[in-house]
Structure 1
Amino acid sequence: MSLNDIDRALVMRRAAALPRYTSYPTANHFQSSVGPVDYRNWLAGLADDAALSLYLHIPFCNEMCWYCACSTKATRRYDPVARYLDTLEAEIATVAGLVPRRHRLTHLHWGGGSPDILAVADIVRLGAALKANFHVEAATEFAVEIDPRLMTADKADAFVGIGVNRISIGVQDFDPAVQAAIGRMQSYDVSKASLDLFRDRGISSVNMDLVYGLPRQTEHSLAQTISQVIELSPDRIAIFGYAHLPQRAHNQKLIDEATLPGPIERFAMARRLTSQLAKAGYVQLGLDHFARRDDSLARLPLNRNFQGYTTDGADTLIGLGASAIGKLPQGYVQNAVTVADYTSRVAHNGLATARGWTLAPDDRLRAFVIERLMCDFAFSFAAIAANFGEADAHGLLREVDAMVADDPDGFLTASDDGFELTPRGRPFVRSICARFDAYLNPAAGARHSMSV
């Protein structure tokens, strides 16, 4: 998209710092009043045949990328990683003893950090621990995040051997100037070699993560990266807008802010990559995910959780490891963020729950609305009535009527069942979601990323 084709005033007016809405309420509202006792009671209250999804966090990398805001730490020594696995196994055993015995594990995801920092023996060890404690079946989607710079043939063998059937490769950007500006040098050839290791071993389901809005990145350079990614033919592509929050992620202070693209340039990048991927046959899903038409992400109902857009519709998401977040029917729980605090809490009582949130009826209603907006770009009265009752649905309709009536930017179009976002409004869906956020504090903008 040409910069001349962009409504600059609109973009600047809407370029606010807003949540990404991977949960509602968002994690910055979680409270320490929710702790291990609550978590134990919530797990005990799950249905006997509850569908479970597991997220397992490995909070270590060989080095910190300057752009990264994940809960991870750099280490060149393996001893801290090995000790962490001892604690992780203890937490796994505790949680497994609390979940229903007849549970069904539908999704398993290892994230980080860099899960492939693990030694081959420890990949096998951790996989065995999970299979010994949870019902991991052949149909369970088992995904792992990969840093291509750490991958070896032996590690690929180990991951495939424990049942991994989907990989997510971190790319970010292939331009050397951008890579130097974010402290992550990773060539196209290194990324392709890592991808080939898994494809040679029968893994056909591949996601690639990219980022737009990075320092020294331009619309042209990003288009070149997208072309290279298309050559690698991943099934899914996730392209996130860079969140520059140096107050929270101190390593981002290494980035020269003068080299960051502004809101107009970021918006142009997002529109260009969307057009480029559409021409290559990828379907846009939600705000920032793309998939081939035959991929399950494009065929099955779309949901949203802390890993982004997903087909995961499990009743319960269990987070394992330092900083991991879980969601249960009763609310959210988050483990202690630092490895030291996490280790101490697990040693004390088997769980590391440090904070969370108990969902109130209004929270559940608004969470549903926000998730469907992020996934479907629509508000449906019938869907709300079916899930929560007509009384609650009618209560929200007053807010909806006011939003549709006061829509100076042409983001919404009324439907018989509520409203839909127009093509003009879809890139700004986070702004629409924010209208339903009862907890959003505009003064907390430093906690959130730019919404374009």
Structure 2
Amino acid sequence: MSAPMSDTPDTAIPSGLASSSTAFDRTALADFRELAGRIDGNGPRYTSYPTADRFHGEVGDAAYRRALDACRANVPAPLSLYVHIPFCENICYYCGCNKIITKDHTRSARYVDYLAREMAMAAEQLGERRAVMQSHWGGGTPTFLDPVEMRHVMSALHKHFELLPEGEHAIEIDPRRVGDDRMELLGELGFNRISLGVQDFDPEVQQAIHRVQSYEETNGVVRAARRLGFRSISMDLIYGLPHQTTQRFSATIDRVLEMRPDRLSVYSYAHLPHVFKPQRRIDPAALPPAAEKLDILVSTIERLTAAGYVYIGMDHFALPNDDLAIAQREGRLQRNFQGYATHAGYDQLGFGVSAIGAVAGHYAQNARTTDEYYAALDKGQLPIVRGFETSEDDRLRKFIIGELMCNGTLDIPAVEASYSINFAQKFAAELVDLDKLALDHLLRRTRNRIEITPLGRLLVRRIAMVFDHYLREDALRPKPAAPAANDAKVIPLVRYSRVV
């Protein structure tokens, strides 16, 4: 076995992520089966650093306004926007998102009025109508809103911001609630990317998770999106759900490949019924055992990459000509609260309940309930209830984690020049831990470079955790007695961009 740190010249180390080939390394997948159970435990998805569980209540309206003032000085840099629509007509038992289950559309009418008020307050603090390169409507189910309400929200956005036509403007939709007329409206409103929840097409799985959705409904939306010229179609799948097997999930992959979406997210289901009450309706005995769940994941990676998809990392796949794959090849892929993104380097404003913004080195999260959200806005306050002000060390580590997770390589001299540090001295402990991971062939390291291997891409979260200062602090603290199950603090690994 070779030494963890090599003296091989940096130019001799091939980039693990730059190859245009979509076929994934079969040896890496075989090794992943052996390593996953040994070293891949629960951990952050790093849609932010520090992670959302580190946010605290000392960040509120005043601190966020100061951050917006700092953002105001950064003109003409464009912004990113996230709009949270929490309403759903029916509950999906697996879901960990911040949602409101209702069929009463008067509730959404009031909500969009308050959304417009929040946008106006934030825009006033920014001082001028700022350009937006990336916008995303999530939920809940954004298409719960009726056409009048959708026009209301979009009108407010256009009043206060300039949504650039060359930007990426996405909305999450429920194919069971969207027909051709609504798809035409989405195109008219300026959306150019849609994200469809699918999860699984197997009827027994769908019954068990209370989400019955036919292939025909889903394909109808895909065909409408292509006919109307949407730039990108994304689908969400979940593995680890009740009654799933490798063979059954492979049948779902067959149907997905027939539709050939531009992007795919394949999320791991985290069964946390003590955190998410709807999950109590899922029979834990019906969940696939750990070995079967791992087989589902490995088989899915093999199937998708063999079909021409690029494995972006973690749970994301994209066709080679999709903007996400292009950004990765060009070394400009980034992460934000929606996961991997092509335009994540901008300040992000979050609107609506539980939405998170990232502005001028500050994270700020809105109130989680509509009552708290409305009350703050009625007082003339931005509805921030918690957040985090990052330090220089936080921003350095955020950059390192982002480079490793997105582009698979770290140029150490460039980091030293940008942050005025001696990398080996500052990260002495981290380099020791990296060398342990190198023994498992997750990465290669020289004095000037860290390079993630194909196997390391499958366990990249574990590599990123090495640079998480807060996890290191936690490890040094005395361990308290284990809490009762209902009192345990758990940060779930499901749609972490919207779950806190």
Using the size of structure 1 for normalisation, the TM-score is: 0.94
Query: Which residue number in structure 2 is paired with residue 447 of structure 1?
Result: 491
Aligned equivalents of 1:377, 1:201: Cα separation in 2 = 36
Q: CA deviation at 1:313?
A: 3.2
1:39 and 2:92 are equivalent in the alignment: no
Q: Equivalent of 1:269, from 296, 305, 314? A: 296
Q: Equivalent of 1:229, from 249, 256, 261? A: 256
Q: CA deviation at 1:397?
A: 4.0
Question: How many residues were matched structurally?
Answer: 448
1:30 and 2:47 are equivalent in the alignment: no
1:351 and 2:382 are equivalent in the alignment: yes
Query: Which residue number in structure 2 is paired with residue 333 of structure 1?
Result: 364
Aligned equivalents of 1:431, 1:197: Cα separation in 2 = 40
Instruction: Tell me which moved more, 265-274 or 277-286.
Output: 265-274
What secondary structure is seen at the aligned counterpart in 2 of 1:270?
A: helix
Name structure 2 gaps, 5 residues minimum.
Answer: 1-25, 480-487, 495-500
Query: Which residue number in structure 2 is paired with residue 20 of structure 1?
Result: 45
What secondary structure is seen at the aligned counterpart in 2 of 1:449?
A: coil
What secondary structure is seen at the aligned counterpart in 1 of 2:53?
A: helix
What secondary structure is seen at the aligned counterpart in 2 of 1:68?
A: coil
Q: CA deviation at 1:199?
A: 2.2
Q: Equivalent of 1:419, from 441, 444, 450? A: 450
Q: CA deviation at 1:91?
A: 0.3
1:303 and 2:331 are equivalent in the alignment: no
CA change 1:15–1:200 in 2 (3 A) is same
Q: CA deviation at 1:447?
A: 2.0
Q: What RMSD, in angstroms, separates the aligned Cα atoms of the two structures?
A: 2.1
Aligned equivalents of 2:36, 2:194: Cα separation in 1 = 35
Q: Equivalent of 1:138, from 136, 155, 165? A: 165
Instruction: Tell me which moved more, 320-329 or 155-164.
Output: 155-164
Matches within 5 A, 1:183-222: 183-222=210-249
Q: CA deviation at 1:416?
A: 4.7
CA change 1:193–1:33 in 2 (3 A) is same
Q: Equivalent of 2:142, from 100, 104, 115? A: 115
1:126 and 2:170 are equivalent in the alignment: no
Using the size of structure 2 for normalisation, the TM-score is: 0.85
1:317 and 2:342 are equivalent in the alignment: no
Instruction: Tell me which moved more, 434-443 or 68-77.
Output: 434-443
1:387 and 2:418 are equivalent in the alignment: yes
1:149 and 2:176 are equivalent in the alignment: yes
Query: Which residue number in structure 2 is paired with residue 158 of structure 1?
Result: 185
CA contact (8 A) 1:11 1:263 kept: no
Q: Deviations over 1:81-130 (max 9, x none)?
A: 11111111110111111225263210111011101011011111211111
Name structure 1 gaps, 5 residues minimum.
Answer: none
CA contact (8 A) 2:67 2:359 kept: yes
Matches within 5 A, 1:285-304: 285-300=312-327, 301-304=332-335
**How much identity, in percent, do the aligned residues show?**
39
Q: CA deviation at 1:58?
A: 0.1
CA change 1:419–1:140 in 2 (3 A) is closer
Give the aligned residue type for 1:310.
Answer: A
CA contact (8 A) 2:33 2:294 kept: no
Give the aligned residue type for 1:316.
Answer: D
CA change 1:152–1:143 in 2 (3 A) is same
What secondary structure is seen at the aligned counterpart in 1 of 2:165?
A: coil
CA change 1:177–1:396 in 2 (3 A) is farther
CA change 1:405–1:202 in 2 (3 A) is closer
Instruction: Tell me which moved more, 214-223 or 32-41.
Output: 214-223
Instruction: Tell me which moved more, 303-312 or 14-23.
Output: 14-23
Q: CA deviation at 1:405?
A: 3.2
What secondary structure is seen at the aligned counterpart in 2 of 1:210?
A: strand
